[in-house]
Amino acid sequence: MLRNYFTLYHLATELRGILEEGYVFEIFSQQRNEITISFITKTGGHLQLMIVTGHPNLCIYTREGLNRKQRNTVDLMPEVTEKHVSAITIDPSDRIITIVLEEGFTIALQLFSAKTNVLLLKKGTVLHSCKESIAASVGDKKASLPPRPEILRSLEPLVNDRQLFSERLDEQEEDTVSDRLRSMLPGFDNRLVRELLRRCTDDGSAEIIHETFSNLFYELLDPAPSVDISGEQGPEFSILHNRPDSSISFDSVMEALAFYSRKRWQFNKTRVLVRELDGKLRQRLKKIDRELVNFNPEKLSEQAEEYETNGHLLIANLYSQERKKDRITVPNVFDTSGAPKTIALKPELNLQQNAALLFEKAAKTRDRIKGGQKRNSLVAEEKNDLLFLIEEVGHLSTSADVRDFQEKNLPLLRKIGLGGSTGKRSGQAPFRTFRISEKAILYVGKNAKNNEKLTFAFAKPHDIWLHARGAAGSHCVLRGTTMQQKSEIERAAEIAAFYSSAKHSELVPVMYTEKKYIRRARNLPPGQVVAERENVIMVKPARDCG
């Protein structure tokens, strides 16, 4: 009921008693789609009137004080600064609150749902509009609107005359009762019409509808403002008397709107945090599912056997004269059908060297199978953790719930590489980070451009630079330690190995050196570098240093 005419009617009445004979202090905007009008009240108090545009669940509310950020704010309508407020009215026919100022200035608050706007006029001419396209639709810079019936004056005769009500209801051309009521009752929006029909229970006679309408009308004139914050869809504002038991009641519409708006902002912020957290968890789950599907030990085993068989066939034909430059066809003694087999060769290697290369590939492929099987069991466990966390996130409803969730599940979030952080990450480097020790932190690049930024924009000359040798992978920079701290370098190397294409191997060689010995590779894409000095350490890949 935020933009319902009756809500705004009572709000305008309350603002009139507080702001008339005061003056406008300033008008500004400090975030998108929100305009703030600051007032000095007639008693010397400070009050801000907040108007939110383009938001379905926020409209207008007040806030005490003169709160304004020091940066990123824009002054609006400077012509009316320190102008006295002579009157506050609401249009009798529509949801427009007008603040009348001295020297012929008026501020018109058009509170039309998605078309909410704030206009500054002088003697009827629009000087400023916060939404220019909406101001233009009013017509030639004028704030006049097509004539409409006055809402209260139109409803009062219908309340007092049952026969007139019945005749008007029958005159409407719409098919459904709800559509006919909307047409004949100005100020009654969809929610009020639904509430009216709901209270009529099963009896849809004109007499019952009229009686219910009359009771509802007098209820709207004597509001009982309340806010219900127990719903899953966020807080709900109402001025109706039949509020839920869980609602919080207020003495004024202005107080209720202020409380509601504060709770709605909190709810919206929580939804953003929950959506971000849920998105990260689901993205991680999708990656894990893809990894589980792609790991095929049977196919890898066949590949390893193929490498090994081809190696043996080359050894058996070292002196064959049938070799071409890049292939050789030999009898296949392992095939009972006796069909010859063609084996691809590296032209620069002899047959014995090609056979050694194939045996090496067979061994690496079997290592991948062993590492993959161990990795699969860890991934399956991580998947169960993710499913548990996703279910928990679905129950979060407040920002306090999100903080409690993060604190409670921080070890688990860190275990799966999320760190338990959501929302703004001000001051943090845009890289993966791992704490190796109390002082040492490892930074890990995310892609080629990120690697380039990490190595040549972020890293300092004496930071330790690490990379899996002979494999594609992330650049890693270890800060807060020295080349003499072998245990910390080893833990960092394990993570560097994990974030490489060799992460499924049992052991991976990782090179490390001080960053000052790393230079860009000429004529090569971003992320490819040359290490002028390097040390190599053999490590087992690990996700973190825990």
- What does the radius of gyration of the chain's CA atoms come to, in whole angstroms? 36
Cα gap 353→359, rounded to integer Å: 10
- Report pLDDT for 37: 93
- Identity (one letter) of the amino acid at 359? F
- Report pLDDT for 537: 94
- Report pLDDT for 252: 92
Tokens 């996703």 locate to: 390
- Tens-place pLDDT, residues 484-528: 889 999 999 999 999 999 998 889 999 999 999 998 877 767 668
Q: Given a cut of 60, is residue 22 above it in pLDDT?
A: yes
- Report pLDDT for 470: 87
Helices and strands per DSSP (H, E), number in the chain = 14, 23
**pTM reported for the whole predicted model:** 0.60
Residues whose CB falls within 8 Å of the CB of residue 345, separated by 6 or more in sequence, listed in order: 323, 324, 325, 326, 327, 328, 351, 354
Q: Given a cut of 50, is residue 427 above it in pLDDT?
A: no
Q: How far is CA 493 from CA 66, 470, 486, in A?
A: 54, 14, 10
- Tens-place pLDDT, residues 64-98: 888 877 677 888 999 999 999 999 999 999 899 99
Task: Give the residue with greater pLDDT, 423 vs 157.
Answer: 157
Cα gap 499→13, rounded to integer Å: 65
- Alpha helix positions (H), 350-479: 351-393, 399-408, 410-415, 448-453
pLDDT-above-70 percentage for the chain? 92
Residue 259 is encoded by which pair of tokens? 């409380």
What's the mean per-residue pLDDT of the chain? 85
CB 523 within 8 A of CB 496: no
Band of the pLDDT at 321, cuts 50, 70, 90? confident
Q: Given a cut of 80, is residue 179 above it in pLDDT?
A: yes
DSSP 296-325: -HHHHHHHHHHHHHHHHHHHHTTT-S---S
Band of the pLDDT at 135, cuts 50, 70, 90? very low
**How much is the average pLDDT of 459-481?**
92
Q: Given a cut of 90, is residue 271 above it in pLDDT?
A: no
- Report pLDDT for 497: 93
Task: Give the residue with greater pLDDT, 135 vs 236.
Answer: 236
Q: Given a cut of 60, is residue 546 above it in pLDDT?
A: no
Q: Given a cut of 50, is residue 53 above it in pLDDT?
A: yes
**How much is the average pLDDT of 139-151?**
61
pLDDT-above-90 percentage for the chain? 38
**How much is the average pLDDT of 131-146?**
49
Neighbours of 236 (CB within 10 A): 21
